[in-house]
Amino acid sequence: MKKLLLFCSISFLLACNNTSENKAENQNTLINKETDSVDNFGIVIHGGAGTILKENMSDSLELAYRAKLEEAIRTGHEILANGGTAIEAVKRTINVMEDSPLFNAGKGAVFTNAETNELDASIMDGETLNAGAVAGVTTVKNPINLAWEVMKNSPHVMMAGEGAEQFARERGLEMVAPEYFYTKNRFQSLQSLKERNSEETVLDHDENKTAFIDAFIKDSKFGTVGCAALDKNGNLAAGTSTGGMTNKKWGRVGDAPIIGAGTYANNKTAAISATGWGEYFIRGVVAYDISAMMEYKEMSLAEAAKEVIQNKNPDLGGNGGIIAIDHNGNVSMEFNTAGMYRANMDKNGNLEIGIYGK
């Protein structure tokens, strides 16, 4: 009997010890998984898509684009590496591109038919699904900052025109005179497009001429900037900023400030920013469509982005591209045009910059 009791006691102690070891092992596994998650972050940007060809680009201009793309993405990457939020990284990264005359956003915004500059932007937090957007602002230096203010400090998602600018002043954002957005090359592009539109009216029966002008008008829609990021806390964010379409009339607004079309972020799936022919990106709800295909059809980011950008959107008649990052840090830079200004950096600091087709 004593031997039986001794055997049972030893067995019980061994079982307890194994249970403790298993718990410790499971805790270590959990910690390792959490560490891996915490260590994972990344960022991806675009500076517009369109007919971007090597033969039309001078060496000096290409270097300028590459340098600015690198400056922008390193700005956001540093924020993420230091434990900053995806939202902050997106906003500050886009600021760099908004302050550059190279891109159709902020300082480099294109001109409307009335020879003014009307700017749009949006931003979205993948953790909360909160979002902010602005359209048709003319004196806000960095529209993405105003979109952030709408998201964080108002009960609304979108503001437009004078009301948005009044809100910007109340929030203490940096305001500028409309002349700040003037750049010679953008103004000349407007005059060239007006001239070609006039020629199209006169020569509308010349199919070759019409086709040429149609292509020119399509490319006048490209140039938006955008950013998507994943931070160390596993949160996603995306933002987009643009000057819209050259020669636009009647207060036209494209996809950039439309949540779900030009910008979308959801921690369940991905953060996405689009660039292209806005009317078709709105009709196709492109950014959300990619997220929805990931969530409901269980497609990967690469699969969903390819399906939407290479098949679904072109079937409608639109073209352009997207940049995106998913909750695992996978990146997509999908486009169906000749080129797209783009860059991405992972948690290890590996940098990739592209301009022309794949």
Which domains occur in the chain, in start order? Answer: 40-183+215-356 (3.60.20.30)
The residue ranges of DSSP E strands in the chain, in sequence order, are 42-50, 119-125, 131-137, 158-160, 225-230, 236-242, 263-265, 270-276, 320-326, 331-335, 339-346, 351-356
Catalytic site positions:
224
Full pLDDT tens readout for the chain, 358 residues: 444 444 444 444 444 444 444 433 343 333 333 334 458 999 999 999 988 899 989 999 999 999 999 999 999 999 999 999 999 999 999 999 999 999 999 999 999 999 999 999 999 999 999 999 999 999 999 999 999 999 999 999 999 999 999 999 999 999 999 999 999 999 999 998 888 776 554 444 444 444 444 444 455 556 799 999 999 999 999 999 999 999 999 999 999 999 999 999 999 999 999 999 999 999 999 999 999 999 999 999 999 999 999 999 999 988 999 999 999 999 999 999 999 999 999 999 999 999 999 6
* Token pair in block for residue 95: 């600021």
What's the confidence (pLDDT) of residue 232? 98
DSSP class of 56 = G
Identify the H or E element spanning 244: none
Quick check: 223 and 275 in contact, CB under 8 A? yes
Identify the H or E element spanning 173: none
Report CA Rg, the chain.
24
Cβ of 356: how many Cβ atoms within 10 Å? 14
What's the confidence (pLDDT) of residue 196? 79
Output the pTM of the full model. Answer: 0.86
* Token pair in block for residue 48: 């517009």
Q: Residue 343: beta bridge partners?
A: 45, 353
What's the confidence (pLDDT) of residue 193? 86
In three-state secondary structure terms, 106 is: helix
What's the confidence (pLDDT) of residue 197? 72
Going by C-alpha positions, the residue among 246, 252, 248, 307 that lies closest to residue 282 is 252
What's the confidence (pLDDT) of residue 39? 84
Identify the H or E element spanning 227: strand 225-230
For 327, list phi and psi in degrees, rounded to 5. Answer: -70, -10
Quick check: 71 and 345 in contact, CB under 8 A? no
* Token pair in block for residue 276: 């292209």
Report the distance separating Cα 315 and Cα 280, nearest Å.
10
For 289, list phi and psi in degrees, rounded to 5. Answer: -60, -40
